[in-house]
Structures are given as C-alpha cells and as structure tokens.
Amino acid sequence: MIIDWKTPGIDGIETTREIRRRVGSAVPTIVFTAYDCSAVEKEAREAGANAFITKPLFRSRLTALFKGLVSPGARISSVTDAAGKICLTDHSGKSVLIVEDNELNREIATEIISMTGAHVEAVENGMDAVNIIRQKGAGYYDIVFMDIQMPVMNGYQATEEIRIMPGCSDLPIVAMTANAFAEDVLRAKNAGMNGHISKPLELKKLNDVMNKWLRKA
C-alpha cells in the first residue's frame, strides 16, 4: 500500500499507524512525500511504514524499492509472505459483500479480500445489506462478512432478515466484530451466522474462512 504523507483529514502517517493497529504488519506500506525530511521519515517508520520515498516518483526508483521490499532477506520479507499467502488463494468469479459501518475498516477489508480476485461490494449498515441482497437476488453473493454493532440495523437483525429471504437460508454469513467473547459467538450462531472472525482481521483466519465457504459455493 502506497500512502501520501499529506492527505486531507488523517495524514499518511496516522493512516499507517491505524492500519498497523487494525491489521498488524500483514500489509506492507510505503509513505511518499514531496518533502525530503529525515524527521518525517523517522516518524513514518515509527508508525509502521516499511519504506519511505520522496516525490517525484520515477519508475526506476519505485522498481528498485519494490525489489528491495520483496527480495530474499529484505527487512519485510515476513510481511510480504503473510500478505502473499492470501493472494495465493484464487477466488475469481466469487462475489463478496462486506457490511461494516466504519469507513476505514470497509476499505481495509475490501482491499484485502480483493487481493484474492473476488468481486467485492461494501455497505455501511445492516439495512443496506438486507436491501442490496434483496435487490441482487439469492445466489448473487457467495459470502457476507457482517459487522455486528452498526447504526440503523445491527448485524444480528440483518442476518435474521436475510435468512427468511427465499433462497438465502444457506448463504454463508460470517460475523466480523471486535467482540470475541463466547456469548458473542453464540449469539451470532443463534442469529443464523455461519462463523465468527474477530477484528482486527488476521489474514490467516480470513483466508481460512474464505477457503472454507467459497470453495463450497
């Protein structure tokens, strides 16, 4: 992931820090800026950036940087291995719906799942999920990743509504929430969900869940 240092709202360093907090070190990040400033580079690396590059961006510099990041023995080889593992699973032709009210979480989940080749769509609450599944029809989505705590309609309510739609009783719906207590897992199951994955997302767990359900679809 390549992130500009100066962006509206949350800057690139804060974005990097938030990505690291939510998904760990699984997504390699590069911060770029027009300012050749050692203090900015130091802050970017402390936030979790794997590399830092200044503008203008030339193909030769980017190529050298990418080669350095993925070459054997490079500082982030373990990171690229972790990210690459999910890339090895090809889910081309599958459709995934992400239901998540947090914009950054939606973007991260969409980016990660898109790495598998799957077609990904995202909505921000349970009511939108119910409406789009009803609109698209049974069989359009192969799996749904459903957040629990959302405005308008929460994940439990949305799942119950989806389950009574014609042809949707077997649609895989996986709870995606920061709550990983036993009672939360049980409540998700009772609402009709097929599984549970905790946030921040772990690539291996996400990969396992997608393999389990999408290979059946």
pLDDT digits (tens, 9 = 90+) for 103-155: 888 887 887 788 788 999 999 999 999 999 999 999 999 999 999 999 999 99
Task: Give the side-chain half-sphere CA count within 13 A for 26.
Answer: 24
Distance between CA 178 and CA 101 in Å, rounded? 13
Q: What is the mean pLDDT of the chain?
A: 82
CATH topology of domain 90-214: Rossmann fold (3.40.50)
**What are 96's two structure tokens?**
């995934």
DSSP string, 51-111: EEEESS--HHHHHHHHHHHHSTT-TTHHHHHHHHHHHTS--TT-EEEEE-S-HHHHHHHHH
For 193-216, write each residue's pLDDT tens digit: 999 998 877 777 888 899 999 876
- Res 68: pLDDT: 64
Q: Under CATH, domain 2-85 is a member of which superfamily?
A: Response regulator (3.40.50.2300)
> Among the residues of the chain, which ranges form H helices?
12-23, 38-47, 59-70, 77-87, 103-114, 126-136, 155-163, 182-191, 203-214
Over residues 51-78, the mean pLDDT reads 59
pTM (2 decimals)?
Answer: 0.64
pLDDT given at position 84: 47
Question: Of the given ranges (16-25, 64-73, 74-83), which has the lowest mean pLDDT?
Answer: 74-83
Predicted pLDDT at 135: 97
Helix axes 103-114, 12-23, angle to 10 degrees: 70
Residue 6 DSSP SS3: coil
- Domain extents for the chain? 2-85, 90-214
Confidence of residue 45 (pLDDT cuts 50, 70, 90): confident
> Could you give the CA distance from residue 12 to residue 92 in angstroms, rounded to a whole number?
31
pLDDT at 20: 87
DSSP assignment letter at 181 = -
Mean pLDDT of 25-48: 76
The top-scoring range by mean pLDDT among 41-50, 76-85, 100-109, 165-174 is: 165-174
CA 35/CA 24 separation, integer angstroms? 27
pLDDT at 56 over 50: yes
